[in-house]
Amino acid sequence: DSGVTQTPKHLITATGQRVTLRCSPRSGDLSVYWYQQSLDQGLQFLIQYYNGEERAKGNILERFSAQQFPDLHSELNLSSLELGDSALYFCASSPHTGTGANVLTFGAGSRLTVL
């Protein structure tokens, strides 16, 4: 158990629908990162939050949004789903002190299947 909790583990939905993925970071970690892993692709960075504020944005579609709440858990919202959104979505957390190296701890992922 990495300490990063993601729910749900699996999700099957239809095109056009909206889903919410949830992440609880490791205790004490202030930064949360969302990554997408599609078939034959590496881990694509989507977005980062630090202590409730958006810190960095990657290749995140406009149909996707995220937030980090005061208790530091984060949610990734995916709307108007398309077949191509089927992927593994990983959440990771880190202490992110702003200095030094940043080693991320990953959750087990949420597998989204869009039919």
The strand pairing partners of 7, in sequence order, are 22
Q: Which stretch binds other proteins (CB under 8 A): 12-20, 61-69, 72-80, 93-101?
A: 93-101
The secondary structure of residue 72, as a DSSP letter, is S
Q: Which stretch binds other proteins (CB under 8 A): 11-19, 64-72, 76-84, 95-103?
A: 95-103
Q: Can you read off the two tokens belonging to residue 15? A: 């095109």
What's the burial of 75, exposed, middle or buried (CB within 10 Å: 0-12/13-18/19+)? Answer: middle
Q: Can you read off the two tokens belonging to residue 20? A: 């919410």
Binding mask 48-67 for other proteins (x = CB under 8 A): x------xx-x---------
Name the residues that contact other proteins, by CB under 8 A. 2, 4, 33, 35, 40-45, 48, 55-56, 58, 90, 92, 96, 98-109
